[in-house]
């Protein structure tokens, strides 16, 4: 189960729905990162959860997953972000505006 939170920056109005830290999904670990290229906050896949030493053993044949890349634009200009950190865009404070429990996987 993945827990996601809706967050909003009081300074620049940036909004996102993210886990706010390292999260383990069925296939992969993700980390919440800010993309400097397109200015979005999102959970970025960082590695496979089941077998990090054999990244080629994807449980979904034919599907290649991109790690360490922005899901929106594919950029690797990413900055790690956790709950409690200031807004990576304007250094304002980011607050939770909602909480979602998602039965992913
Ligand atoms: Zn901001
Ligand atoms: Zn991006």
Output the pLDDT for position 57.
53
Radius of gyration of the chain, Cα coordinates, nearest whole angstrom? 14
Output the pLDDT for position 65.
73
Token digits of residue 3: 């827990």
Overall average pLDDT of the 20-33 stretch: 89
Quote the mean pLDDT of the chain. 86
Q: With 60 as the cut, is the pLDDT of residue 55 above it?
A: no
Domain residue extents for the chain: 2-50+65-102
pTM, 2 dp:
0.79
- C-alpha 87/C-alpha 72 separation (Å) is 19
Burial 32-54 (b: 16+ CB within 10 A, else e): bbbbeeeebbbbbbbbbbeeeee
Q: With 80 as the cut, is the pLDDT of residue 41 above it?
A: yes
Measured in angstroms, how far is the CA atom of residue 34 from the centroid of ligand 2? 8
Split at pLDDT 50, 70, 90, the class of 13 is: very high
Measured in angstroms, how far is the CA atom of residue 5 from the centroid of ligand 1? 16
């Amino acid at each position: 189960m993945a827990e996601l939170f809706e967050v909003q920056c009081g300074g620049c109005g940036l909004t996102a729905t993210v886990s706010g830290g390292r999260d383990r999904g069925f296939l992969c670990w993700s980390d919440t990162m800010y993309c400097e290229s397109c200015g979005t906050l999102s959970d970025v896949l960082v590695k496979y959860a089941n077998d990090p030493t054999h990244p080629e053993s994807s449980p979904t044949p034919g599907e290649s997953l991109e790690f360490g890349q922005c899901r929106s634009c594919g950029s690797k200009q990413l900055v790690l972000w956790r709950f409690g950190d200031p807004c990576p865009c304007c250094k304002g404070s980011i607050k939770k505006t909602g909480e979602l429990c998602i039965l992913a996987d």
